[in-house]
Structure 1
Amino acid sequence: MKRRTLLATAALGLGLAFGGAAQAQGMDKAKACFVYVGPIGDLGWSYQHHQGALAVKEAYGDKVEIAWQESVPEGADAERVLTQMALSGCNIIFTTSFGYMDATNAVAAKFPDVKFEHATGYKREHPNVAIYNARFYEGRAIQGHIAGKMTKSNKIGYIGSFPIPEVIMGINAYYLHAKKVNPNVELTVVWAYTWFDPAKEADAAKAMIEQGVDVIASHTDSTAPLAEAAKTNGAVIGFGQASDMADYKPSPRVSSIIDNWAPYYVKRVGQVLDGTWESTDTWAGINEGEVEIGEITEAVPADVKAEAEAMRDAIAAGTYHPFTGPINKQDGSAWLADGVTAPDGDLLGMTFYVEGITAEIPQ
């Protein structure tokens, strides 16, 4: 994935300096800005981030102005958009895709009085940059349990966006929990190399279905995989990704992972207003309400639903971790001993599949 020097006038520089002083003491009004990798109508990732932006407006009313730009490519275009936002008076800018990481830090260096928040990355190179993420793998474990129990062909699938740790850990969690309840399960992984491209996502789903896959999870942002599953007259099921995708209930969408960014966005904008914002590294999950498990529909047998909900509750309570050993790496080498849970550092840097997955990770 792709991860101009500006000549500012003296007046602009003075304005930014005063803005920084105001932030340190709190502000009467603020402008919060959002950059999305897809359209806000994708009904997935960008849609859900925009719901969080709207929650900020609802929470603070006239005290906060919100602005956004959708379908911003990762790379040079992102740096241009972020620069324009900073110059337009944004006090805090949320960059909501992994590939914005380098652009976020580059522009943050030029605008030290603007707060930047980057989603799903790991670089926090300046004191005005924060990073935030969600423990999506917790939801993938629950989906894997359902998949392993409900597959009739013993073939389950996963549509990957890009081979980054966030996606790889989701694949691993999905497979491990399917395998636990169905030792005969086989996993097919198809890489779409996009976050949002309904045609490519549909093609990936079609390819899986043609290979006999009857349960599909996806780490891309459109409803296209569910639309393809819906054409099979109940033979293939799947899951909502990032948002509920409720239009496909009760089947093929039998549950979903819902990214609930609203509480985080409301909190962080509030801290800009009251002058308490600090550079932080946040990774929240089911326990904090940032990852929600959408309704498990009647298409799922009652006992499987109860098991999935029990797993959700155990993860929330901290009594179960989806990556608990014994777990080996794909090559058979030991990773986690019996009863040992994966350190966050291992997960955030995950570049390997677990034992039993036969696919290869693209380089």
Structure 2
Amino acid sequence: MKLRKFLALALAVTTVLSMSVLTGCSSNSGSSSEKSAETTETGETAGETKGEATNLKDIKIGFIFLHDENSTYDKNFIDAANAAKEALGLSDEQVIFKTNIPESSECYEAAADLADRGCNIVFADSFGHEQYIAQAAAEFPDVQFCHATGTTAHTAGLDNFHNAFASIYEGRYLAGIAAGMKLNEMIADGEFTEDEAKIGYVGAYTYAEVISGYTSFYLGAKSVCPSVTMEVQFTGSWYDETAEKEAANTLISRDCKLISQHADSMGAPTACESAGVPNVSYNGSTVSACPNTFIVSSKIDWAPYFEYIVNCVANGEAIDADWCKGIAEGSVVLTDLNDAAAAEGTAEAIAEAEEKLVSGDLHVFDTTTFTVDGAALDSYMADVDTDADYTPDTEVISDGYFHESEMRSAPYFDLRIDGITTLNEMF
């Protein structure tokens, strides 16, 4: 991930600087300050200056999706966009979808087209879209450009460029509890022994986002099934049904008793259904296709963010340069449990943990619950990019836990903890 992130970041910064020269560094419409990464006298930072209010009926928002409804990842965004549209009372003419937009210059072209068509807000949903959204933001200062999973908006120096994510590790931890409860049930039923409690995980890439996700899932499972171990198989793609199915089957052949995933197709869930292996999916319920094996799914609910950015423009208020919310705010949710597959007591165990997460009595990455190479951690310098100078490392462990998604919205937990084995590292 670091190489890809570095290249994307370098290109984005170069693009932003060059486009700023071409546009004379003009500020966003209605803004009273120049674009700057420095804090102003009012405490506002770049990406947070206020503008003029816009009547809600005059707002138009364009969405750029990497895939379409066939991808669970993109479907989750599409469903949230439709939910926000209904909640805000927007008409069909006020919302434009562009699907199957790759992480290439086609993204910039799509963003520019949406701006030319009168969109006040443009949103893109994939990490690799970021540099092209930054390019469009520099060229169209009167349009607000928002991007999911990115890392550069808070240091780019553009008032109209914004990143957003959610504390999905909280949801994955809770889903992990459901997995651990299922393992305990299977152990109690004599299907295998405690030392055979192994789960498999289908991951896309070795990015911090994926590592954070599978680690939080594992820690959730471990919190109720202490003997659990996990193996991770990477596919090298966010969406490759064949590769994801093959990865799941590989893990099943290696005696993994339950499978989860950070990948976007139905490959892994359907492989589990065919093999009769319990499955915890991601980004939405797969119960209709996998009625016998689906347990639960965690997901980010993007509707609150979409409503937030539209209301900001309508009210002439600043959009956060780097936005992140979690379970407490309704931005991270679990689907309904499938009682046909979930273990007895799962709902109660999840509810108890969720209450503690919200109250702050429980932290997902509590450093007393894991080790790295046999040792506990009391310090870790993470690559967070917290300022305009791109300071490479920031201390992220304090008060006994790793502070994920607090220094920036996008995940940066990239530790390889004990108990988890990765089977391939080419991605």
Alpha-carbon distance in 2 for matches of 1:278, 1:216: 38
Q: Is the 8 A contact 2:296 2:338 kept in 1?
A: yes
Q: Shift of residue 279 of structure 1?
A: 3.7
SS in 1 for 2:29: helix
**2:105 aligns with one of 53, 76, 79:** 76
- Residues 1:285 and 1:250: Cα distance change in structure 2 (over 3 Å): farther
Q: Indicate the residue corresponding to 2:205 in structure 1.
A: 162
Instruction: For 1:27 and 1:304, locate their aligned partners in 2 and report how far apart those are by CA, in whole Å.
Output: 46
For 2:242 and 2:163, the matched residues in 1 are separated by 31
TM-score, scaled relative to structure 1: 0.87
CA distance in 1, matches of 2:314, 2:129: 25
For 2:76, the aligned partner's letter is: Q
Contact 1:55 1:266 in 2 (8 A): no
Q: Deviations 1:72-100 (Å, cap 9, x if unpaired)?
A: 11133322222222222221111111121
Deviation of residue 194 (structure 1)? 1.5
C-alpha contact 1:32 1:64 (8 A) present in aligned 2: no
Q: Contact (CA 8 Å) 1:117, 1:132: kept in 2 or not?
A: yes
The RMSD of aligned alpha carbons is 2.8
Q: Which of 220, 226, 235 is the equivalent residue of 1:192?
A: 235
Partner of 2:84: 56
Aligned residues: 349
- Spell out the pairing of 1:22-171 with structure 2 (5 A cutoff): 24-28=51-55, 29-42=58-71, 44-58=72-86, 59-62=88-91, 65-124=94-153, 125=156, 126-151=158-183, 152=192, 153-171=196-214
Does residue 353 (structure 1) correspond to residue 394 (structure 2)? The answer is no
User: Residue 148 of structure 2 aligns to which amino acid in structure 1?
Assistant: A
1:341 aligned onto 2:401: yes
For residue 51 of structure 1, what is the amino acid of its counterpart? D
AA of the residue aligned to 1:263: P
Partner of 2:260: 217
Q: CA separation in 2, counterparts of 1:64 and 1:333?
A: 57
Distance in 2 between residues matched to 1:358 and 1:241, nearest whole Å: 21
Letter in 2 for 1:90: C
User: Is residue 324–residue 339 contact of structure 1 (8 Å, CA) maintained in 2?
Assistant: no
Q: SS state of the match for residue 210, structure 2?
A: helix
Q: Partner residue of 2:326?
A: 285
CA pair 264-301 structure 1, distance change in 2 beyond 3 A = same
Moved more, 149-158 or 212-221: 149-158
Q: Which residue of 2 aligns with 1:8?
A: none
Partners of 2:261 and 2:65 in 1: how far apart? 19
Counterpart position of 2:20: none
8 Å CA contact 2:64–2:98 kept in 1: the answer is yes
- 3-state SS, counterpart of residue 33 of structure 1: strand
- 1:117 touches 1:131 (CA, 8 Å); kept in 2? yes
Distance 2:252 2:92 in 1: 50
Distance verdict in 2 for CA 1:63–1:219, change over 3 Å = closer
Is the 8 Å Cα contact of residues 175 and 334 (structure 2) preserved in structure 1?
no
Deviation at 1:312, TM superposition (A): 2.2
Farther-moved stretch of structure 1 (159-168 vs 296-305):
296-305
Distance 1:87 1:314, change over 3 A: same
**Aligned twin of 1:310:** 352
Structure 1 position 259, deviation (Å): 2.2
| Whole-angstrom CA distance in 1 between matches of 2:407 and 2:425 | 19
Whether the 8 Å contact between 1:93 and 1:117 is mirrored in structure 2 is: yes
The residue aligned with 1:9 is none
| DSSP-derived class of the 1:216 partner | strand
Report the Cα distance in structure 2 between the residues aligned to 1:189 and 1:296, rounded to whole angstroms: 24
Offset of residue 32 of structure 1: 0.3
2:385 corresponds in structure 1 to none
Query: 1:319: which partner in 2?
Result: 361
Asked if 1:265 corresponds to 2:306, the answer is yes
1:177 is matched with: 220
Q: Which amino acid aligns with 2:358?
A: A
- Following superposition, the deviation at residue 249 of structure 1 comes to 5.8
2:338 to 294, 297, 310: 297
1:240-255 pair list within 5 angstroms: 240-248=281-289, 250-255=291-296
State the distance in 2 between where 1:328 and 1:215 align. Answer: 21
Cα contact 2:269–2:290 (8 A) shared by 1 = no
Matched, 1:226 2:254: no
- Specify the code of the residue in structure 2 equivalent to 1:96: D
Q: Secondary structure at the match of 1:113?
A: coil
Q: Secondary structure of the residue that 1:53 maps to in structure 2?
A: helix
Write out per-residue CA displacement over residues 312-341 of structure 1, whole angstroms, 9 at most, x where no aligned residue: 232233321111121555333432489612
Deviation at 1:149, TM superposition (A): 3.3
Tell me the alpha carbon deviations over residues 119-151 of structure 1, each in whole angstroms, 9 at most, x when there is no partner: 111111111111110111112112222223323
Q: Alignment partner of 2:309: what SS?
A: helix
User: Percent identity of the aligned residues?
Assistant: 27
Aligned residue type for 1:72: I
Q: 1:304 and 1:26, CA in 2 relative to 1: closer, same or farther beyond 3 A? A: closer
Asked if the contact 1:127/1:279 (under 8 Å) is kept, the reply is no
